[in-house]
Amino acid sequence: MTSLSAQIEALDPEQDAQEIVRLVFLQAFPWDGTRALEFALFRTYAVPSIGALLDATGEFGQRTQKRYDDTDLLIHTFVAEGYESDLGRQAIRRMNQIHSKFQISNADYLYVLSTFVLEPIRWIARYGSRPLTQVEQQACYVFWREVGQRMALREIPASLASLEDYNLVYEREHFTFSEPSRRVALATRELLLSWYLPRWLRPLGAPWVHALLDEPLLEAFGFPRPSRLRRALAESVLRWRGRISGWLPERQAPQVLPKRGARTYPSGYSVESLGPKPPVGVDPAFLKPSPAEDAPGG
């Protein structure tokens, strides 16, 4: 066991959840954690009510990079600083202010919360240098449970196992094809590819993104199914990347990147400035009639 792993295992997943999550996702697995949350977003789009709301705001179709950066920066703030810090509280408060404008069910909130707990656990088990330990997994659950409570979510499942049961049942009952979900997924896929490929090469990259999506997601977005060979190659590359990363020296400090959000905010940003402007041109069916300033909207 590495020294970083030993340090994490010596912590208590209930009392030290903030520190464990910071060490896991900013020091042990910063690349894997970021990729896992990117693909977690795809899962949320496959729920038609979520996909329809995201499509209706116009943020994904018109300002995809800004929408991604705002989400990344808000989450990164309370992961890096902790949800009990001043900055962490500001980030959660801002997130609640953004959500409070919209009609979002508590059930959808709980599903999104479950993806932020479970997808990093699943991704790292598949592609990381080692799976997360029970201590690390429990800390992930506790961390996001506490974030959920600060968002005023109701009936958060009482354990990691029950949260996974909720996640699986919700996907089975709600994943289905819808045009709004497809549009949001396409916009996100193009954004991910734009970081690595010029526009004229992106059609060649798209099948490799599809190769990392499971069958329910492909059906929900109407994406073509990749060949078995393409899927095997894509997953093999990620597994080898994880294996090689495990051979490298450990990071000696959390990877807190000063350039996060640089594409949208080259001169810097404040937490209060993150997120969309007041919604304009959104179907009133998606808006709360009298949004409470700090309520999540559920």
Can you tell me the distance from the alpha carbon of 88 to that of 104, in angstroms, rounded to the nearest whole number? Answer: 23
Burial class (CB in 10 A: 0-12, 13-18, 19+), 265: middle
The model's pLDDT over 127-142, given as tens digits with 9 standing for 90+, comes to 999 999 999 999 999 9
Q: Is the pLDDT of residue 266 over 90?
A: no
CA angle 211, 113, 41 (to 5 degrees): 30
Q: Is the pLDDT of residue 48 over 90?
A: yes
The model's pLDDT over 105-122, given as tens digits with 9 standing for 90+, comes to 999 999 999 999 999 999
Task: Provide the mean pLDDT of the chain.
Answer: 91
The model's pLDDT over 144-191, given as tens digits with 9 standing for 90+, comes to 999 999 999 999 999 999 999 999 999 999 999 999 999 999 999 999
Q: Cβ distance 280 to 62 under 8 Å?
A: no
% the chain with pLDDT above 70: 91
Alpha helices (H) along the chain:
3-9, 17-23, 30-45, 48-57, 59-62, 64-81, 86-99, 106-127, 134-150, 160-174, 179-194, 202-210, 215-221, 228-247
Burial class (CB in 10 A: 0-12, 13-18, 19+), 216: middle
Q: What is the pTM of this model?
A: 0.91
Residues 6+ apart with CB under 8 A from 15: none
The confidence score (pLDDT) of residue 284 equals: 66
Can you tell me the distance from the alpha carbon of 28 to that of 23, in angstroms, rounded to the nearest whole number? Answer: 6
Distance from CA of residue 91 to its chain's centroid? 15
Q: Cβ distance 55 to 185 under 8 Å?
A: no
